[in-house]
Structure 1
Amino acid sequence: MDWDLCLLGGCFLTLLSLFALKLRLRKPVHSGLQELPCLPSFPLIGSLLSLRSVHPPHVLFKKLQEEYGQTYSLMMGSHRVVVVNQYVHAKEVLLKKGKIFAGRPRTVTTDVLTRDGKDIAFGDYSATWKFHRKVVHGALHMFGQGTASIEKIICTQAQSLCSVMLEKATSEACVDLSPDLARVVTNVICSLCFNSTYPMGDPEFEAILLYSQGIVDTVAKDSLVDIFPWLQLFPNADLRLLKQCVSTRDKLLHQKYEEHKAQYSDNLQRDLIDALLRAKRNAQNNNTAEMSSEPLGLSDDHILMTVGDIFGAGVETTVTVLRWAIIYLIYHPEVQKRIQDEMDSNLGRDRSPLLSDRGSLPYLEATIREVLRIRPVSPLLIPHVALQDTSLGNFKVRKGTRVIVNLWSLHYDEKEWKHPELFDPGRFLNREGTGLSKPSSSYMPFGAGVRVCLGEALAKMELFIFLAWILQRFTFSSPAGQPPPSLEGKFGVVLQPAKYKVTVTPRWRAF
Structure 2
Amino acid sequence: RAASLYALWLGSHYVVVVNSYRHAREVLLKKGKAFAGRPRTVTTDLLSRGGKDIAFASYGPLWKFQRKLVHAALSMFGEGSLALERIICQEAASLCETLSAAQDTALDVAPELTRAVTNVVCSLCFNSSYRRGDPEFEAMLEYSQGIVDTVAKESLVDIFPWLQIFPNKDLALLKRCLKVRDQLLQQKFTEHKEAFCGDTVRDLMDALLQVRLRAKNSSPPAPGLELTDDHLLMTVGDIFGAGVETTTTVLKWAVLYLLHYPEVQRKVQEEMDQKIGLARHPHLSDRPLLPYLEATISEVLRIRPVSPLLIPHVSLADTSIGEYSIPKGARVVINLWSVHHDEKEWDKPEEFNPGRFLDERGQHIHSPSPSYLPFGAGIRVC
TM-score relative to the length of structure 1: 0.73
Q: What's the CA shift for 1:180?
A: 1.1
Q: Which residue of 1 aligns with 2:32?
A: 98
Q: Which residue of 2 aligns with 1:302?
A: 231
SS at match of 2:320: strand
Q: How does 1:489-500 map to 2 (within 5 A)?
A: none
The question of whether the paired residues in 2 share the 8 Å contact of 1:102 and 1:385 is answered with yes
1:439 is aligned to 2:368? yes
1:377 is aligned to 2:312? no
- Cα pair distance change 1:228/1:287, threshold 3 Å: farther
Q: What's the CA shift for 1:437?
A: 4.8
Q: Which residue of 1 aligns with 2:133?
A: 201
1:218 is aligned to 2:147? no
Q: Which residue of 2 aligns with 1:134?
A: 68
Q: What's the CA shift for 1:90?
A: 0.6
Q: Which residue of 2 aligns with 1:464?
A: none
1:73 is aligned to 2:7? yes
Q: Which residue of 2 aligns with 1:121?
A: 55
Q: What's the CA shift for 1:283?
A: 1.5
1:409 is aligned to 2:341? no
Aligned-CA RMSD value: 1.2
Residues in 1 aligned to 2:74 and 2:100: alpha-carbon distance in whole angstroms: 34
The question of whether the paired residues in 2 share the 8 Å contact of 1:430 and 1:437 is answered with no
Q: What's the CA shift for 1:275?
A: 0.4
Q: What is the identity, as a one-letter code, of the residue corresponding to 2:196?
A: Y
Q: What is the identity, as a one-letter code, of the residue corresponding to 1:359?
A: P
Residues in 2 aligned to 1:313 and 1:354: alpha-carbon distance in whole angstroms: 23
The question of whether the paired residues in 2 share the 8 Å contact of 1:284 and 1:296 is answered with no
Residues in 2 aligned to 1:412 and 1:148: alpha-carbon distance in whole angstroms: 36
Structure of greater relative contact order (alpha carbons < 8 Å, 6+ residues apart): 2
1:167 is aligned to 2:101? yes
Q: Which residue of 2 aligns with 1:318?
A: 247
1:396 is aligned to 2:330? no
Q: What is the identity, as a one-letter code, of the residue corresponding to 1:251?
A: Q
SS at match of 2:6: strand
Q: What is the identity, as a one-letter code, of the residue corresponding to 1:438?
A: S
- In the TM superposition, what whole-angstrom CA distance separates every residue of 1:427-449 from its partner, at most 9, and x where no partner exists? 00001213435220110111111
Residues in 2 aligned to 1:329 and 1:144: alpha-carbon distance in whole angstroms: 28
The question of whether the paired residues in 1 share the 8 Å contact of 2:150 and 2:173 is answered with yes
- Cα pair distance change 1:321/1:437, threshold 3 Å: closer
Q: Which residue of 2 aligns with 1:177?
A: 109
The question of whether the paired residues in 1 share the 8 Å contact of 2:53 and 2:238 is answered with yes
Q: Which residue of 2 aligns with 1:335?
A: 264
Residues in 2 aligned to 1:108 and 1:286: alpha-carbon distance in whole angstroms: 37
Q: What is the identity, as a one-letter code, of the residue corresponding to 2:16?
A: V
Q: Which residue of 2 aligns with 1:465?
A: none
Q: Which residue of 1 aligns with 2:185?
A: 253
1:362 is aligned to 2:362? no
- In the TM superposition, what whole-angstrom CA distance separates every residue of 1:297-327 from its partner, at most 9, and x where no partner exists? 1111100001110111000111111110111
SS at match of 1:169: coil
Q: Which residue of 1 aligns with 2:118?
A: 186
Q: What is the identity, as a one-letter code, of the residue corresponding to 2:327?
A: R
Runs of 4+ in 1 over 6 A off after TM superposition: none
- In the TM superposition, what whole-angstrom CA distance separates every residue of 1:350-403 from its partner, at most 9, and x where no partner exists? 111111111111000000000000000100000000001111111101110000
Q: What's the CA shift for 1:220?
A: 2.4
The question of whether the paired residues in 2 share the 8 Å contact of 1:390 and 1:396 is answered with yes
* Pick aligned residue for 2:359 from 430, 434, 441: 430
SS at match of 2:316: coil
Residues in 1 aligned to 2:77 and 2:258: alpha-carbon distance in whole angstroms: 34
Residues in 2 aligned to 1:166 and 1:133: alpha-carbon distance in whole angstroms: 41
Number of residue pairs the alignment of both structures matches: 382
SS at match of 1:83: strand
- In the TM superposition, what whole-angstrom CA distance separates every residue of 1:107-128 from its partner, at most 9, and x where no partner exists? 0000111101111011110111
The question of whether the paired residues in 1 share the 8 Å contact of 2:38 and 2:313 is answered with yes
The question of whether the paired residues in 1 share the 8 Å contact of 2:62 and 2:224 is answered with no
Residues in 1 aligned to 2:82 and 2:318: alpha-carbon distance in whole angstroms: 46
SS at match of 1:81: strand
* Pick aligned residue for 1:280 from 177, 201, 212: 212
SS at match of 1:74: strand
SS at match of 1:80: strand
Q: What's the CA shift for 1:143?
A: 2.0
- Cα pair distance change 1:391/1:287, threshold 3 Å: farther
Instruction: Give unmatched runs, 5+ long, in structure 2.
Output: none
Q: What's the CA shift for 1:221?
A: 2.2
Residues in 2 aligned to 1:435 and 1:82: alpha-carbon distance in whole angstroms: 35
The question of whether the paired residues in 1 share the 8 Å contact of 2:294 and 2:364 is answered with no
Q: What is the identity, as a one-letter code, of the residue corresponding to 1:268?
A: T
Whose Rg is larger? 1
The question of whether the paired residues in 1 share the 8 Å contact of 2:125 and 2:236 is answered with yes
Residues in 1 aligned to 2:219 and 2:335: alpha-carbon distance in whole angstroms: 38
Q: What's the CA shift for 1:295?
A: 5.6
Residues in 2 aligned to 1:92 and 1:401: alpha-carbon distance in whole angstroms: 15
Residues in 1 aligned to 2:160 and 2:311: alpha-carbon distance in whole angstroms: 19
Q: What is the identity, as a one-letter code, of the residue corresponding to 2:186?
A: H
- Cα pair distance change 1:409/1:231, threshold 3 Å: same
- In the TM superposition, what whole-angstrom CA distance separates every residue of 1:197-233 from its partner, at most 9, and x where no partner exists? 0001000001001111111111122211100000011
Q: What is the identity, as a one-letter code, of the residue corresponding to 2:223?
A: E
Residues in 1 aligned to 2:254 and 2:65: alpha-carbon distance in whole angstroms: 36
SS at match of 1:266: coil
Q: What is the identity, as a one-letter code, of the residue corresponding to 2:356?
A: R
Residues in 2 aligned to 1:377 and 1:266: alpha-carbon distance in whole angstroms: 36
Q: Which residue of 1 aligns with 2:90?
A: 156
The question of whether the paired residues in 2 share the 8 Å contact of 1:287 and 1:296 is answered with no
